[in-house]
Amino acid sequence: MDNIAQGFLGETLYTVKILTREQVPQLRKLQSEVIAALPDANTLQPLSDEEFSYILTGHGLMIGVFVADELIAFRALLEPMIDDEHLGRDCGIPEQKLPRVLYQEISNVSPRYRGYGLQKTMAQIIMKQIDLSRFDYICATVKPLNIPSLKDKFAQGMVVAGLKEKYGNKLRYIFYKELNGEKPTFTEARLLLMSDITGQQQLLKKGFVGTDMFEQNEQWYVTYRK
């Protein structure tokens, strides 16, 4: 594995590498460590060994952050199958362009190395690895009130294009971003509580997209623009 980036966590040197199937045992171990530290295990949809192997055998890309030889964080992009659940359809992407869609998949950081902004760093690094001649869109799903993951998606300039049940009746925000397009402009804005599911769904049906979020009086709001 060749290094594609490096930096410091405090005084500790880390390196970033593109992962292969050889790292599946390390991925499984790190994922288990992350899940064990979660207050709500349902926040994270873990990947199976088969899913790790699928991504690592030409159906996406996975990068890992190492301290010495220990994997302490990873982030994945998936080239999805074009099926009835394809997120591109939820985002209004034309059918003929669905093969040009990538998914942002799981992102894990060891609890021992939180607080260094590794999730954001990995996002910047992995997005630079995308072949823009092959892909035009990034899509992702996030559970409502999963605040760190929602912040991560908005920070990358992704927008909410849907809010519906996916993956066996699990409510999810559906994010997307056009990789080769210009930044959109808006003329109208609405603020809604993140807990107001019906209100958000109504705005989405009217062509609004969620562009950012903020906290006020211990409640989270989403800004929708059109």
Instruction: Report residue 223: phi and psi, to 5°.
Output: -90, 125
DSSP strand pairing (137-142 vs 159-166): unpaired
Whether 189 and 175 share a structural domain: no
Cα 214 from Cα 216, distance rounded (Å): 7
Are 177 and 190 members of one domain? no
Within this chain, do residues 57 and 88 fall inside the same structural domain, yes or no?
Answer: yes
pLDDT of residue 168: 80
Chosen domain end from 181, 202, 218: 181
CB 166 within 8 A of CB 174: yes
Asked if residue 216 and residue 136 are part of one domain, the reply reads no
Query: Using an 8 Å Cβ cutoff, are 164 and 171 in contact?
Result: yes
Angle between helical axes of 147-155 and 118-128 (0-180°, round to 10): 40
Residue 76 confidence (pLDDT) = 94
135: left (phi over 0), alpha (psi -120 to 50) or beta: beta
**Is residue 120 domain-shared with residue 226, that is, in the same domain?**
no
Beta strand residue intervals within 68-188, DSSP E: 70-78, 101-109, 137-142, 159-166, 170-178
Whether residue 197 sits in one domain with residue 87 = no
Domain count, the chain: 2
Whether residue 57 is found in the same domain as residue 131: yes
Asked if residue 129 and residue 218 are part of one domain, the reply reads no
Q: With left for phi above 0 and alpha for psi between -120 and 50, is residue 22 left, alpha or beta?
A: alpha
Q: What's the pLDDT at 41? A: 65
Claim to verify: residue 39 and residue 90 sit in the same structural domain: yes
The first and second tokens of residue 34, run together, are 């992350």
Same domain flag for 163 and 78: yes
Which pLDDT belongs to residue 39? 76
Cα separation, 166 vs 153, whole angstroms:
18
* Residues 10 and 121 both lie in one domain: yes
Domain coverage including residue 46: 3-181
Shared domain for 167 and 199, answered yes or no, is: no
Ordered per-residue pLDDT tens for the chain, 226 residues: 678 999 999 999 999 999 999 999 999 999 999 988 887 766 677 888 888 999 999 999 999 999 999 999 999 999 999 998 999 999 999 999 999 999 998 889 999 999 999 999 999 999 999 999 999 999 999 989 889 889 999 999 999 999 999 878 889 999 999 998 788 889 999 999 999 999 999 999 999 999 999 999 999 999 999 9
Which residues are within 8 A (CB) of 146 and not within 5 positions of it... i.e. 6 or more apart? 43
Statement: the pTM of the whole predicted model exceeds 0.85:
yes
CATH assignment at residue 61: 3.40.630.30
Q: Which two tokens stand for residue 77?
A: 């992009």
Which of 60, 97, 98, 99 lies closest to 76, judged by CA?
Answer: 60
